[in-house]
Chains A and B, each alone.
Chain A
């Protein structure tokens, strides 16, 4: 049997998932979604459509009110507090509110994600430099995160999310505060991760990010999946935003 012909395994599987916040706010309603290994999915929709909630459910920051969330072979809603780290090590998340430690340096903020998996110091240093180079933040290596602009903080948050090459990367509005050039750098980083086999789920309402992509685009509205579309194109031109720039910065 040719292994290439077998379908890629499912890494994220949501079955009829609902999330209700008290008192009775329906953030996600009966969402079913399957994402296979190595896939890139854009999640779009207006503010309040349920994009962030969906990402929070996948990373087990929230438990679903109803339905099943299966991530990397783990039933997330049944995952005990003791075992939650097993999931979090497979899922890297770039948060909309960055969640950086303002008193710590950029390098220290990124190092956290590598320290928890007991990565040797030399490798941590190497990886941090590599990521900062890619995101054009090398000069901020020793700057405190609190002193950075929002765009820079966003990039540090992304660098931390991808630092230990997670199986799944969840990015919540990763380019919300970035200019076109920096957006291109971030997308180049995502492309690099995608080529290495990571699965990416990017929540954004920046249409420019997925306009020319061949990847699945899921539109949410009022907590429900409104549509799923796959643009035409091949795997070689997945991220067509500012292609000339991409060529320059591609690792």
Chain B
């Protein structure tokens, strides 16, 4: 207990001693966290939207004739050989007709006299709704096209491809902003800790001479890094929340365009971002200690 009281006191003293660079570091960490969390928020929500849109996602494989049971098994086997799917449904010509009739509802009298087998038989393939399966959907479609007896394969090509491209772009931007976060936090924190180490060099030497342990000397600097990371992340996320609320306010109201289900981070994600930032700053602090603090 006494140890931590001393460590906290020393860390606070360090931060006061180099308050200008501490402020700069805090600002940089906050900005990096804001940039990273902004893109991550967009990415997470895009994934979420993708999942919702994916509820209707299916590949319809039109066949030249109703497949017999052994052929159905053969199709099923070949489809599962390529990729895992949620389910496979075989629609006979008659079932297709009934569906169409049902869709037409009260206007189904237009089908009077039309043969019940005028629609082709088909296989409806429901892929697993993950980003990976989305990325493979075109290849899946091309594969299905090669199966015997297949006339045509249909899926919402355009939106899926565009959406997948968007998700890919967001993924790259999030990774880049994550790298920015890693570099800036570790570099800035290491730089600030280095300044503190130089400012307190005389005292650190003295502490060593009067019997301070390595932990007694090092821990305040690690705590300083952790505080910079933690506080910086809280400020960055706070700024993002303000921005999020402001945007939500702009889209609120009866005449406004409604935002799709766009939500802020859940608590575990918030804790993870703060934890990650804190960890990175501790790493930065640790690297500075290793390089510049010679005990």
Question: Contact residues of A with B, CB < 8 Å?
Answer: 59, 61, 81-82, 84-89, 93, 99, 101, 112-113, 115-118, 120, 160
B207 CB–A CB distance under 8 Å: yes
- Evaluate contact between B203 and A101: CB separation under 8 angstroms: yes
30 A-B contact pairs sorted by A residue (CB < 8 Å): A61-B209, A81-B214, A84-B208, A85-B208, A85-B211, A85-B212, A85-B214, A86-B211, A87-B211, A88-B208, A88-B209, A88-B211, A93-B209, A99-B205, A99-B206, A101-B203, A112-B203, A112-B210, A113-B210, A113-B211, A116-B207, A116-B211, A116-B212, A116-B213, A116-B216, A117-B211, A118-B2, A118-B3, A118-B6, A160-B210
| Cα A45 to Cα B139 with chains together (Å) | 91
Q: Which residues of A contact B271 (CB under 8 A)?
A: none
List 4 other contacts, CB 8 Å, given A99-B206, A112-B206, A116-B216: A61-B209, A86-B211, A88-B211, A116-B207
- Evaluate contact between A120 and B2: CB separation under 8 angstroms: yes
B295 CB–A CB distance under 8 Å: yes
- Evaluate contact between A116 and B210: CB separation under 8 angstroms: yes
Distance in Å: Cβ of B148 to nearest Cβ of chain A: 74
Closest residue of chain B to A115, judged by CB? B6
| Cα A99 to Cα B206 with chains together (Å) | 7
Question: Contact residues of B with A, CB < 8 Å?
Answer: 2-3, 6, 202-203, 205-214, 216, 295
| Cα A120 to Cα B205 with chains together (Å) | 23
User: Which 10 pairs, one residue from A and one from B, show the smallest C-beta to C-beta distance?
Assistant: A89-B211, A88-B211, A118-B2, A116-B212, A113-B210, A85-B211, A85-B213, A116-B211, A116-B210, A101-B203
| Cα A84 to Cα B208 with chains together (Å) | 8
**How many A-B pairs with Cβ below 8 Å?**
45
* B214 contact from A61, A82, A88, Cβ within 8 A: A82
Main secondary structure of the interface of B (DSSP, over half): helix
Q: Which residues of B contact A87 (CB under 8 A)?
A: 211
Closest residue of chain A to B214, judged by CB? A82
| Cα A101 to Cα B203 with chains together (Å) | 7
Q: Which residues of A contact B206 (CB under 8 A)?
A: 99, 101, 112
Q: Which residues of A contact B3 (CB under 8 A)?
A: 118
Closest residue of chain A to B3, judged by CB? A118
- Evaluate contact between B214 and A101: CB separation under 8 angstroms: no
Q: Which residues of B contact A118 (CB under 8 A)?
A: 2-3, 6
| Cα A89 to Cα B202 with chains together (Å) | 19
Closest residue of chain B to A119, judged by CB? B2
Q: Which residues of B contact A93 (CB under 8 A)?
A: 209
Closest residue of chain B to A95, judged by CB? B209
| Cα A201 to Cα B178 with chains together (Å) | 59
Q: Which residues of A contact B6 (CB under 8 A)?
A: 115, 118
Given contacts A115-B6, A118-B6, A120-B2, are A81 and B295 in contact (CB under 8 A)?
A: yes
Closest residue of chain A to B295, judged by CB? A81
Distance in Å: Cβ of B12 to nearest Cβ of chain A: 14
Distance in Å: Cβ of B29 to nearest Cβ of chain A: 28
| Cα A114 to Cα B172 with chains together (Å) | 54
| Cα A82 to Cα B216 with chains together (Å) | 11
- Evaluate contact between A101 and B207: CB separation under 8 angstroms: no
Interface centre among A82, A87, A113, A115 (most CB of B within 10 A): A115
Distance in Å: Cβ of B256 to nearest Cβ of chain A: 59
| Cα A39 to Cα B118 with chains together (Å) | 115
| Cα A59 to Cα B206 with chains together (Å) | 13
Interface centre among B202, B211, B212, B295 (most CB of A within 10 A): B211
Closest residue of chain A to B212, judged by CB? A116
Q: Which residues of B contact A160 (CB under 8 A)?
A: 210
Distance in Å: Cβ of A164 to nearest Cβ of chain B: 8
Interface centre among B205, B210, B214, B216 (most CB of A within 10 A): B210
Q: Which residues of A contact B208 (CB under 8 A)?
A: 84-85, 88
| Cα A61 to Cα B3 with chains together (Å) | 25
| Cα A89 to Cα B210 with chains together (Å) | 6
Closest residue of chain A to B6, judged by CB? A115
Q: Which residues of B contact A112 (CB under 8 A)?
A: 203, 206-207, 210
| Cα A81 to Cα B213 with chains together (Å) | 9
Closest residue of chain B to A104, judged by CB? B203
- Evaluate contact between A99 and B209: CB separation under 8 angstroms: yes
Closest residue of chain B to A81, judged by CB? B295
Closest residue of chain A to B216, judged by CB? A116
| Cα A101 to Cα B204 with chains together (Å) | 10
Closest residue of chain A to B209, judged by CB? A88
Q: Which residues of A contact B202 (CB under 8 A)?
A: 101
